[in-house]
Homo-oligomer: A and B are copies of this chain.
Amino acid sequence: MIAVLKQGTTPEQTEHLIKWLKNMSLDVHMSQGKEVTILGLVGDTSRVDIELLKSLEIVATVKRVSEPFKQANRKFHPNDSVISCGDVKIGGGNFAMIAGPCSVESEEQIIEVAQAVKAAGADILRGGAFKPRTSPYAFQGLKDQGIKLLLEAKKATGMPIITEIMNIRTLELFEDVDIIQVGARNMQNFDLLQELGKTKKPILLKRGLANTLQELLMSAEYIMSEGNENIILCERGIRTYETYTRNTLDLSAIPVLHELSHLPVVIDPSHATGRAALVPPMAVAAAAAGADGIMVEIHNNPACAMCDGAQSLTPEQFNELNQRVQKVREVIK
């Protein structure tokens, strides 16, 4: 870590700061330049509060030379991580297509969708049982009953399942769930992350609405620092001023995360765009940019003609999307 001191800093102030830094068990190398004084901090700088250091009056700038994440860092783990979920693998050249309804609604619905997406080439079944909703009055999911229905669908199709956890006290319900999803709103629910770190379950960690890629990796680090290395990163759109799409899908997250980390990266174009017509082009683009998986919402309601324009695709549309994604993966290898 490098701290650059402002011009006009007195020797006493500099000495003071160095003493304070050494108290944190850091070695400090001073380099006195014409214009500025530079302090090189060596040691376990992951404990240094960079915001506090930056805000000191005598400090012009602070810069980490090494990233603050370790276990998620590609530097210390050059090979791609491969996450196994049942027979399915994600990362290191293994691509997973995750599909299913937004919410689990009934046994009939989830089994029908599961069979349809499996037939269309999906590897993993998604479905919401606990639903985070902005309003306390909105439908919050079938909860434990929803998980039971997902497990029925798993049994019926043999597909691994993924569903979201919102509260660590419900962890035991997830025993037979293959991948636990942490939603965007909980990306910095550090207590939840640490508890999930004590399990061995694969965790799909969604980027928060206004979180940087480095913050996403720091949240992965929270889980990994407790012993669970089975992390799948997920980009699902960030909040910007643009209103035509629900969020702005940041596909550059794929090569950036691959550069910084060995963890696989999955893209969720359904939540990112909020509109079915935009899901296929964004899914294909994600595959072209090197994503390790794609997660899309599918509905199976032929009676509900009006659902077709919403964020969910029909199984037929998904089938076509999947074929294009596979073709693109073939040519970019």
Contact = CB atoms under 8 A, between A and B. Distances in A.
Interface of A: 2, 4, 6-7, 12-13, 16-17, 20, 29, 31, 33-36, 38, 40, 42, 44, 46-47, 49, 51-52, 54-61, 63, 65-66, 68, 132-139, 166-169, 185-186, 188-191, 194, 208-210, 212-215, 218, 221-222, 225, 238-246, 248-252, 254-256, 259, 272-278, 281-282, 284-290, 304-311, 324, 327-328, 330-332
Contacts of A330: 331
A244 to B, nearest CB: 5
Of the candidates A166, A284, A288, A330, the one having the most CB atoms from chain B within 10 angstroms of its own CB is: A288
A221 to B, nearest CB: 6
B251 A47 contact: no
A92 to B, nearest CB: 17
A26 to B, nearest CB: 12
7 interchain residue pairs of minimum CB distance:
A57-B309, A210-B210, A288-B288, A46-B137, A285-B289, A167-B191, A185-B188
A309 B286 CA distance: 24
Contact of A190 (B133, B244, B259, B276): B133
6 contacts: A16-B304, A55-B309, A137-B225, A212-B241, A244-B256, A327-B332
A59 to B, nearest CB: 8
Number of copies: 4
Contacts of A191: 166-167, 169
Contact of A135 (B63, B68, B331): B68
Nearest to A289: B285
Contact of A238 (B167, B248, B327): B248
B52 A310 contact: yes
Of the candidates A7, A249, A309, the one having the most CB atoms from chain B within 10 angstroms of its own CB is: A309
B306 A278 contact: no
Contacts of A331: 324, 327-328, 330-331
A252 to B, nearest CB: 5
A68 B309 contact: no
Given A288-B284, A288-B285, A13 B305 contact: yes
A234 to B, nearest CB: 16
Contacts of A136: 190, 194, 218, 221-222, 225
A20 to B, nearest CB: 7
Contact of A245 (B51, B252, B304, B310): B252
Contact of A282 (B35, B166, B255, B273): B255
A278 B55 CA distance: 11
A214 B4 contact: no
Of the candidates A138, A190, A304, the one having the most CB atoms from chain B within 10 angstroms of its own CB is: A190
